[in-house]
């Protein structure tokens, strides 16, 4: 069943599904980083946890560990599992940046996921900087065309970058789009807790704080507490 993402959803990131019990007290779902797992399909077969899964097989060119060979095929098999409620696909694959063959494969997978009642998170990352607000908005709008949630993770170099991200998040949310935004790095770490106030629908935190999958992540318990306090106090 699809993860709805109609309100803030806290995803516990891990490459080891055996860690899922430790996430139940604070997380709404588990982001399974298949690209970081040794035998991801075997792990899915053995999974008997309570939390639904968001499967990510992040490409090397987007900061992950998955090569192009077999990346989509692995995701295609993953979405057949009953526990999988969402799949992450890179915007660059869907909108033609990576070539027509990859675009066709990515769009076919997104279509199949929707047919199987699996939500599609369309993601983009900038590990160097934060684009201008207009570029942030444009990227999120593009991503919204291909899936259920548009995700953009950027790198904040100062508080102005963080403010631009929050402003773009609010604008897209007011337009009716479902977005997930966060700024990596020290200057942007607070956006992981604050962005949900402006409409961001997904937050990510590692189950094991020593295994963060992106710079600036809070631990799971801390992010849940902060978001709960900030969102409910509005």
For residue range 45-98, what is the model confidence (pLDDT) as tens digits?
999 999 999 999 999 999 999 999 999 999 999 999 999 999 999 999 999 999
- Report how far apart, in Å, the C-alpha atoms of 63 and of each of 70, 184, 218, 232 are: 17, 13, 19, 34
User: What's the whole-model pTM score?
Assistant: 0.96
Average predicted confidence (pLDDT) for the chain: 95
Residue 233, pLDDT score: 64
- Report how far apart, in Å, the C-alpha atoms of 136 and of each of 6, 90, 173, 229 are: 21, 16, 13, 27
User: CA 23, CA 115: separation in Å to the nearest integer?
Assistant: 29
Q: Is the dihedral of CA 101, 107, 111, 117 positive or negative?
A: positive
**Percent of the chain clearing pLDDT 90 (strictly above):** 92
State the DSSP H helix or E strand holding residue 105, giving kind and residue range, or none if neither. helix 100-115
Question: Which pLDDT tens digit goes with each residue over 21-31?
Answer: 999 999 999 99
For residue 186, pLDDT over 80 is answered with yes
Catalytic residue among 65, 81, 151, 201: 151
Q: Residue 109's pLDDT band (boundaries 50, 70, 90)?
A: very high
Is 125 annotated in the active site?
Answer: yes
Cα maximum dimension of the chain: 48
Question: Which pLDDT tens digit goes with each residue over 123-170?
Answer: 999 999 999 999 999 999 999 999 999 999 999 999 999 999 999 999
Q: Which CATH superfamily is domain 9-232 in?
A: Aldolase class I (3.20.20.70)
Q: Residue 211's pLDDT band (boundaries 50, 70, 90)?
A: confident
Residue 207, pLDDT score: 87
Total length of the chain: 234
Q: Residue 216's pLDDT band (boundaries 50, 70, 90)?
A: confident
More confident residue, 216 or 171: 171
Residue 30, pLDDT score: 98
For residue 234, pLDDT over 70 is answered with no
Catalytic residue among 65, 125, 177, 190: 125
Is 133 annotated in the active site?
Answer: no
- Report how far apart, in Å, the C-alpha atoms of 84 and of each of 16, 194, 222 are: 15, 28, 25
């Amino acid at each position: 069943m699809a993860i709805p993402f109609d309100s803030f959803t806290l995803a516990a990131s891990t490459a080891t599904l055996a860690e899922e019990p430790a996430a139940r007290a604070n997380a709404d779902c588990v982001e399974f980083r298949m690209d970081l797992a040794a035998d991801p399909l075997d792990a899915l077969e053995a999974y008997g946890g309570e939390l639904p899964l968001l499967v990510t097989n992040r490409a090397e060119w987007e900061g992950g560990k998955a090569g192009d060979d077999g990346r989509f095929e692995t995701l295609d098999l993953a979405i057949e599992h009953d526990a999988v409620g969402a799949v992450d696909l890179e915007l660059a694959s869907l909108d033609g940046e990576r070539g027509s063959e990859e675009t066709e494969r990515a769009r076919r997978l997104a279509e199949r996921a929707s047919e199987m009642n699996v939500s599609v998170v369309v993601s983009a990352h900038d590990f160097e900087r934060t684009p201008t607000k207009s570029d942030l908005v444009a990227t999120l709008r593009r991503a919204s065309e291909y899936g259920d949630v548009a995700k953009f993770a950027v790198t904040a170099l100062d508080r102005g970058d963080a403010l631009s991200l929050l402003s773009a998040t609010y604008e897209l949310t007011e337009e009716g789009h479902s977005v997930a935004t966060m700024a990596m790095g020290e200057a942007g770490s607070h956006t992981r807790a604050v962005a949900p106030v402006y409409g961001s629908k997904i937050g990510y935190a590692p189950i094991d704080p020593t295994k963060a999958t992106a710079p600036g992540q809070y631990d799971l318990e801390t992010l849940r507490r902060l978001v709960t306090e900030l969102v409910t106090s509005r």
